[in-house]
Chain A
Amino acid sequence: QKEVEQDPGPLSVPEGAIVSLNCTYSNSAFQYFMWYRQYSRKGPELLMYTYSSGNKEDGRFTAQVDKSSKYISLFIRDSQPSDSATYLCAMTPGTASKLTFGTGTRLQVTL
C-alpha cells in the first residue's frame, strides 16, 4: 500500500463547476499537508498549505484536512480553464524536509 493515494483522473468538468480533489494517507505521523499545482511541462508550484486538521480558504480554493480519517481535500469553486493542471497532494511529519507526494490528479476544465 502506498503511503499516499490519489486518484489519477483525468477529471473533466465544465467551467464554473465546483471541483473536489482528494488524497488518503496511511502514515498518522503526517502533520503538514500541501497541495501543489503542476502545469504541463512545468515544475509544481505550492497552492495551499495546512497544518493538522481543519479548513483553510484562499480565494476560490479551500483545503480540508481530516486527520481522524486520514483524508485531505482541495475544493476549487467557480473553476476556470486556467485551473486545468495536475494537482499533487504532499505531506510531511514536519520534523524533516522530505515530502511524500501523491501521484497527482489531472484536471481539465472545459469551456
Chain B
Amino acid sequence: DAMVIQNPRYQVTQFGKPVTLSCSQTLNHNVMYWYQQKSSQAPKLLFHYYDKDFNNEADTPDNFQSRRPNTSFCFLDIRSPGLGDAAMYLCATSRDSGGASTDTQYFGPGTRLTVL
C-alpha cells in the first residue's frame, strides 16, 4: 500500500543533543510537509518542500532545519532541542500545490519526541 512512513515512532533525546527525524513516502507526491503538534493543540506547519523548493514558515525557529535528498525522503533536524520542543512531529505529503482538489494531505503516524 502506498503510504507515508515515519521513523522512529518514539524518540528520546537530551536537552541540546541534536536529533533527526525521518519521513519517507511511496505516494510519489511532489510536496512534503513537517508539522509540530503539541498535546491538545492544532498541528503547526514548520515548513514544506515543493519538489526541491524549500518553504519555511515565518515563525519556525532557526533550531529546526530540513533536508529532502530525493522525492521519497525528507528529514527534520532539530539542532539543539529544548524542553519546549517535546511534541509529536507529523510528516505529510500532497500531490501538488496547484489546486485544492489535489491538496489533500496524507499524514504519517508521527514521531513523538521526548526531551530530557
Which residues of A does B touch, CB under 8 Å?
A: 4, 8, 31-32, 34, 36, 41-46, 49, 51, 88, 92, 94, 96-104
The answer to whether A99 touches B45, judged by C-beta atoms less than 8 angstroms apart, is yes
Q: Is B70 an interface residue (CB 8 A)?
A: no
Chain A residue at minimal CB-CB distance from B6: A43
* Contact across chains for A103 and B41 when beta carbons are under 8 A apart: yes
Q: A42-B109, A43-B90 are in contact. Are A94 and B100 (CB under 8 A)?
A: yes
B10 CB to closest chain A CB, in angstroms?
Answer: 9
Q: List 23 A-B contacts (CB under 8 A).
A: A8-B40, A32-B100, A41-B109, A41-B110, A41-B112, A43-B6, A43-B92, A43-B109, A45-B107, A49-B104, A51-B100, A88-B42, A88-B43, A92-B100, A92-B103, A94-B99, A97-B31, A97-B48, A97-B105, A99-B45, A99-B103, A102-B42, A103-B42
**A97 and B109 contact, CB distance less than 8 A:** no
Question: Which residues of B are found within 8 Å of A104, using beta-carbon distances?
Answer: 40, 42
Nearest-neighbor residue (CB-CB) of B48 within chain A: A97
Tell whether, in the assembled complex, residue A46 and residue B42 are in contact, meaning their CB atoms are under 8 Å apart: no
Q: Assess A46 versus B106: contact at CB under 8 Å? Given A41-B112, A94-B100, A102-B42.
A: yes
> What residue in chain B is nearest A32 (Cβ atoms)?
B100
For residues 59 through 113 of chain B, which have their beta carbon under 8 Å from a beta carbon of chain A?
A: 90, 92, 94, 97, 99-100, 103-110, 112
- In the complex, B4 has a CB within 8 A of chain A: yes
